């Protein structure tokens, strides 16, 4: 029996109610640019990335080349909400110009990562590409890397809370509930630090803090 079109529409709405919103909404994709609560600056530990990913092959060969020794590099500056986060906010808009990308020089390990971060996260900030990369630089310049992690040439082992406390000691105003440490297979991946929307200071971020590494110890690989 062929159902009337109105009945089919009603059944479709009931299906959405029963099984939840589409995946795009569920996972935070889209959203209005500029509609977020705070920022997360993600600093990737480059030696750990190189060991975990491809050991210097393919797209990361510049970052992982012997002697490159980048230490901590910017993974991204992410708009965040108290619960969840937006990504890919509408069309990517204009691609970053060479002038805009000049703002990212020395921050991201590769230009490709800078472009990707603009598309995925920068489009949700409400800023232009140049403005977004300038904000990335502002955030990065406010974070002091603990002395023990600057260009280390030997492998170290830390607990997650020891690592957080080292960053707290090096950065006045930062607390352990304003950051998290990410790890994978017992290796340090990155440190994520929460900032106010105006990037003037650090702020608490419960969801980010709770998502931190649960390993009892973290191996911090030496710079290549």
Q: Which two tokens stand for residue 110?
A: 């590769």
Sequential DSSP letters for 46-108 = HHHHHHHTTTT-GGGHHHHSTT----EEEEEEEEE-SS---BS-SS--SPPPHHHHHTTTTTS
For the chain, domain boundaries? 23-220
45 or 6: which leads in pLDDT: 45
Per DSSP, 127 falls in state S
Q: What is the mean pLDDT of the chain?
A: 82
CATH of domain 23-220: 3.90.730.10
Q: What is the pLDDT of residues 69-97, one digit of tens each?
A: 678 999 999 999 999 999 999 665 568 89
What pLDDT does residue 71 have?
Answer: 86
Q: Residue 42 and residue 215: Cα distance in Å, rounded?
A: 19
Q: Which two tokens stand for residue 187?
A: 């290796």
pLDDT higher than 60, residue 6: no
**What is the rounded average pLDDT of the residues 179-192?**
94
Query: Tokens 């939840």 appear where?
Result: 20
| Length reported for the chain | 224
pLDDT higher than 70, residue 9: no
Q: Residue 171 and residue 1: Cα distance in Å, rounded?
A: 70
What pLDDT does residue 183 have?
Answer: 94
Q: Which two tokens stand for residue 46?
A: 């480059």
pLDDT higher than 80, residue 38: yes
Sequential DSSP letters for 18-45 = HH-S-HHHHTTB---TT--SEEEEEEEE
From the number of C-beta atoms within 10 Å of its C-beta (0-12, 13-18, 19+), residue 61 rates as: middle
CA distances from 123 to 2, 85, 106, 118, 132 (A): 45, 13, 21, 6, 9
pLDDT higher than 80, residue 57: no
Q: What is the pLDDT of residues 132-183, one digit of tens each?
A: 999 999 999 999 999 988 866 788 999 999 999 999 999 999 999 999 999 9
pLDDT-derived band at 18 (thresholds 50, 70, 90) equals very low
Q: Residue 209 and residue 92: Cα distance in Å, rounded?
A: 29
pLDDT higher than 90, residue 193: yes
What pLDDT does residue 223 have?
Answer: 64
Per DSSP, 216 falls in state S
What pLDDT does residue 150 have?
Answer: 81
Q: Which residues lie below 8 Å from residue 35, measured CB to CB, with a gap of 6+?
A: 86, 124
pLDDT higher than 60, residue 198: yes
What pLDDT does residue 163 have?
Answer: 96
pLDDT higher than 80, residue 54: no
79 or 52: which leads in pLDDT: 79
């Amino acid at each position: 029996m062929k159902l009337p079109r109105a009945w089919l529409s009603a059944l479709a709405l009931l299906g959405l109610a029963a099984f939840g919103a589409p995946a795009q909404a569920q996972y935070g994709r889209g959203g209005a640019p500029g509609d977020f609560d705070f920022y997360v600056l993600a600093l990737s530990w480059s030696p750990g990335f190189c060991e975990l990913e491809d050991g210097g092959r393919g797209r990361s060969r510049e970052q992982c080349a012997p002697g490159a020794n980048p230490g901590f590099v910017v993974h991204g500056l992410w708009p965040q909400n108290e619960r969840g986060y937006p990504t890919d906010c509408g069309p990517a808009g204009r691609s970053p110009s060479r002038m805009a990308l000049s703002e990212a020089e020395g921050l991201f390990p590769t230009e490709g990562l800078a472009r990707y971060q603009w598309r995925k996260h920068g489009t949700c900030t409400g800023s232009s590409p140049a403005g977004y990369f300038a904000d990335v630089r502002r955030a990065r310049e406010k974070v002091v890397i603990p002395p023990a992690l600057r260009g280390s040439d030997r492998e170290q082992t830390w607990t997650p809370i020891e690592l957080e406390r080292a960053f707290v000691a090096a950065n006045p105003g930062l607390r352990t509930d304003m950051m998290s440490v990410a790890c994978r297979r017992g290796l340090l991946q990155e440190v994520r630090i929460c900032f106010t929307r105006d990037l003037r200071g650090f702020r608490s971020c419960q969801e980010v803090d709770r998502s931190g590494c649960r390993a009892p110890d973290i191996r911090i690989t030496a710079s290549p």
